[in-house]
Amino acid sequence: MIKAVILAAGKGTRMKSDTPKVLHQIFSKPLLGYVLDNVKNIADESFVIVGHHAEEVTKFVEKHYNNAKTVLQTPQLGTGHAVSMVCPHLENFDGQVIILCGDTPLITEKTLKEFIEYHNKNNSDLTVMSTIFENPANYGRIIRESDNTLKCIVEEKDATPEQKLVKEVNAGIYCLNWAKVKPAFSQLTSNNAQGEYYLTDIIAWGKKNDLKVNAYILENSDEIYGINSRQNLAAATRIINERKLNSLMENGVTIVDPTSTWISEDTEIGSDTTVFPATYIEGKNKIGKNCKIGPCAHLRGDVEIADNCKIGNFVEVKKAKINHNTNAGHLSYIGDAELGSNVNIGAGTITANYDPISKVKSRTILKDNVKIGSNTVLVAPVEIGKGTNIGAGSVITKNITEWALALTRAPLRVIEKWVKH
């Protein structure tokens, strides 16, 4: 069995934000969500160590992850102290524990599996993940013995000038044989520049207690990129986006302009779909084959689009299911809606889904073969029957039966010579 411990108690002062660092978002998903998603198929249970804004982080975890729970660290006395908070929860546990940071959204499930395989293959008791940085400033240095085995990790603030020249750094991810390493957390000391209990000190403790300690070198150092500032957040977003776009193109999706297209990693797109420039797709979505998305389209999450559909320029879609051969070509908003097959949405169509007084969002349902004229407002909750046409410029406030024509249009008035008079 494998348990995960995710460190998420920090303040993130450089973010200069009232939002906890681990809840800052990339494509509408918090940083912590990326980490939890990448361990959910590896660990049967995750423990998220919370501190700063603990209630907000706990609310997010409880809402979205059934196999994760939060553990409060107070006061916050360092990373080693943070992990010690789970000791009561793992009193009789005899499996493996992986430790990660909640602000490293780029780590992948594939890498974590390879890391654990390395740990097992080498019969390790304790394995740390490392990587090589040409500019290793602010990272803990991996210090090896003369025979190249791992000796210890030295934090930047405690490193000697010689140690600071080392380019192999701590990636902040650990795999422990818990029963053997757990005693370390009651024996750590705070004899360092910060007066904190460092998680990195378990390496020296393991060596002292004759445990088998190894370091696994991660080749793609981007994966342990930590978020400490808004600049870091923007850089990580670009990396996640580039990774996603390359994956989509390798699987038969046309991205006309990768430099202006943004697609979340939780979006699935079928082959032979084309995504045009200046399109932004966030959240979790599923798009079928042979679709055309954009240019300048915005999908906001919880969107399902079947095959052979078109979501055109300046069309926004949210929490909607769109069946095959349906088109929304121009300047429309489709939210909290279900559209059938062979539906055509005219330019300027709006699903008015939100009641600002009751603060309730309602659904709009369009059955197969419905045709919506331009500049139409569909006031939810409303259902338009199969084959019905809605005249341009209409405001629809009640259900319409099948194969009808519905329109709400004031009579045209022409006052002759009015401008001259």
Count the neighbouring beta carbons within 10 Å of the beta carbon of residue 208.
Answer: 11
Q: In this structure, is residue 11 part of a structural domain?
A: yes
* Cα pseudo-dihedral 293, 298, 300, 306, rounded to 10: -20
Q: In this structure, is residue 194 part of a structural domain?
A: yes
Cα angle 294-299-302, degrees, rounded to a multiple of 5: 145
The structural domain count of the chain equals: 2
Strand 168-177 to strand 126-132: parallel, antiparallel, or no bridges (unpaired)?
antiparallel
Q: In this structure, is residue 190 part of a structural domain?
A: yes
Q: In this structure, is residue 420 part of a structural domain?
A: no
- Which of 173, 205, 224 is the endpoint of a domain? 224
CATH at 353: 2.160.10.10
The answer to whether residue 330 is catalytic is yes
Q: Give the per-residue pLDDT at 373.
A: 98
Whether residue 179 sits in one domain with residue 78: yes
Whether residue 263 sits in one domain with residue 210: no
Ramachandran class of 403: left when φ > 0, alpha when ψ lies in -120 to 50, beta otherwise? left
| Burial class of residue 183, CB neighbours in 10 A (0-12, 13-18, 19+) | exposed
CATH at 179: 3.90.550.10
pTM: predicted TM-score of the whole model, two decimal places: 0.92
Whether residue 35 sits in one domain with residue 179: yes
CA distances from 185 to 87, 102, 126, 172, 192 (A): 8, 20, 13, 17, 16
Whether residue 260 sits in one domain with residue 215: no
Whether residue 262 sits in one domain with residue 212: no
Is residue 40 within 8 Å of residue 46, measured between CB atoms? yes
Whether residue 315 sits in one domain with residue 196: no
Q: Which residue in the list 64, 81, 330, 421 is annotated as catalytic?
A: 330
Q: Which residues of the chain have pLDDT under 70?
A: none
Whether residue 204 sits in one domain with residue 318: no
What string of DSSP letters covers 151-180? EEEE-GGG--HHHHT--EEEEEEEEEEHHH
Whether residue 310 sits in one domain with residue 196: no
Strand 377-379 to strand 389-390: parallel, antiparallel, or no bridges (unpaired)?
unpaired
Whether residue 324 sits in one domain with residue 196: no
The token pair at 344 is: 């055509």
d(CA 401, CA 47): 53
d(CA 125, CA 310): 54
**Which domain, by its residues, includes 372?**
251-406
* Cα pseudo-dihedral 92, 98, 104, 109, rounded to 10: -120
Count the neighbouring beta carbons within 10 Å of the beta carbon of residue 417.
Answer: 6
Whether residue 173 sits in one domain with residue 134: yes
Whether residue 376 sits in one domain with residue 263: yes
Q: What are phi and psi of 46, to 5 degrees?
A: -120, 140
Whether residue 266 sits in one domain with residue 206: no
Q: 302: number of CA atoms within 13 Å, CB side?
A: 8
- Which of 224, 243, 266 is the endpoint of a domain? 224
Q: In this structure, is residue 30 part of a structural domain?
A: yes
Q: In this structure, is residue 232 part of a structural domain?
A: no
Q: In this structure, is residue 230 part of a structural domain?
A: no
Q: Give the per-residue pLDDT at 191.
A: 81
Q: In this structure, is residue 414 part of a structural domain?
A: no
Q: Give the per-residue pLDDT at 152.
A: 87
Q: Give the per-residue pLDDT at 161.
A: 92
